Amino acid sequence: MESSPRTTHIVIVSVPAFSHQVSILEFAKRLLHLQANTFHVTCIIPTLSSSPSTSKPFFFQSLPQNIRCIFLPSVNFQDLDNNGVSVEVQLQLSVSRAMPSVRENLISLSNTTEITALIADAMFPEALEFGKKLNILSYVYFPCSIMTLSIFFHSQNLDEEVSCEYKDHPGLLQIPGCISIRGIDLPDSVQDRGSLAYKLFLQRSKQYLNAHDGILVNSFMEMEEEATKAISQHGHGDCHYPPVYSIGPITQSGSSGSKSGCECLLWLDKQKPNSVTYVSFGSGGTLSQEQINELALGLELSKHKFLWANFRAPNDKTSATYFSSDGCLVDDPLHFLPLGFLERTKGQGLVMCEWAPQVEVLGHKAIGAFLSHCGWNSILESVVHGVPMIAWPLFAEQRTNAALVTDGLKVALRPNVTSGNGVMVKKEEVVKLIKALMEGLEGEEIRRKVKEVKKFANCAMMEDGSSTRTISKLAQKWKSLGKSF
């Protein structure tokens, strides 16, 4: 009689943010691919009443059979004034309110199967305590850069060294192994040191330091080598860093499966190589009406081809649709574009409210630049496909990412902004950036740099690449502890 196959069961806990869900589930897919489906993954996902996951069914429907998602009952924020609560705080509150359901599901799973390891999203480090109680290996999945993780690790020192608000600090801040950074480019959650967001940031920083089994980071050694070395060498003193595993670049794979995506790609097929600027502000970014006008007119005046995807109605809050299921909250958001814009740019550009299949778009030969909000997923996708960027950060850690790709990796240009009724990128600056990337010598050097980083990214994910070896070593460790179902 044949013995039952050894299948290692891993449990993942995500948060109600689609960008986080995509990253951690793509890691699960990568794990299954490398291990020939000898793993079984259960992903527990808290949801909101407006959770974007419900509007992205194709991604979840296309997951391998060995990945099962458990969507928890919706958490709502009806008792909060969401307009005054940051994305980070809303995520943290969603985690707190979902904890009883997560605990209940973990206990139920542990009663029916042998769980080898728990991997919790970086916004849910409290789940590590559940792992300890179940006596299983417990990890944090950090979907951002090593530089951002370094800021968390270094946060207590920064808190002691800087007496003013970080945005008012006159000099550059030093983070071990990282580029020097302006205080204003630190994540949003630290910009008001008297806020709840800052308190939660410091709390998470301490929790990361207690992630004794390790932190999985969606980056790769060759892109952030010095930062990675600085963390790995931090083995002395009172504060030891946990093991950090670079397992990236983990990016979304597969087709969008949508009709709008096909139409978008057909339009790109008609354009010349490297001639189109792709514009997208991710799954939650929004612009004010004034900024929409300036960006649109800048695209028009540049005389270069453009594809503006996921266009949304204006909102003065940059993260207005981060938790909503639909970025197009009105019947026809295109009427918020400048009068006559669509008619004047017919043939020059395409504006679409629907999601574009971003991985396929960035891999298209027609794309010559990416005007991006600098979400980490988008940066990795751009790097993997060797597309230079215009860094246009909006919220969360996006300004930190923008500093990394412009000042550190030198694969992007960043706009100069004007202050008035808020921060504004004027149309003249948009024209200047597009022309610099698409025409100038500066653009040539940036394209050379990004092609170099692309090569390193591809090498990291090869069979003997640095990230593949790291994932394989983790998998072997987990398999050695796994038991038969």
Residue 455 CB: number of other CB atoms within 10 A? 12
Q: β-pairing, 67-75 with 115-121?
A: unpaired
Q: Name the residues annotated as catalytic.
A: 20, 121
DSSP character at residue 298: H
d(CA 165, CA 163): 7
SS3 content of the chain, % helix, strand, coil (to 5): 45, 15, 40
d(CA 145, CA 148): 5
Cα dihedral sign for 131, 209, 228, 407? positive
Query: What is the chain's alpha carbon radius of gyration, rounded to the nearest angstrom?
Result: 22
d(CA 197, CA 187): 10
At 122, is the secondary structure helix, strand, or coil? Answer: coil
Q: Comparing C-alpha atoms, which of 457, 392, 451 is closest to residue 274?
A: 451
d(CA 343, CA 94): 43
Name the burial class of residue 69, with classes exposed (0-12), middle (13-18) and buried (19+) by CB atoms within 10 angstroms of its CB. Answer: middle
d(CA 291, CA 261): 26
Q: How far is CA 343 from CA 298, 300, 350, in A?
A: 15, 11, 11
Q: How far is CA 408 from the centre of its chain?
A: 18
Is the separation of the CB atoms in 119 and 10 below 8 Å?
Answer: yes
Helices (H), 419-461: 427-438, 441-460
- Side chain identity, residue 464: D
At 371, is the secondary structure helix, strand, or coil? Answer: strand
Name the burial class of residue 161, with classes exposed (0-12), middle (13-18) and buried (19+) by CB atoms within 10 angstroms of its CB. Answer: exposed
Q: β-pairing, 172-173 with 181-182?
A: antiparallel
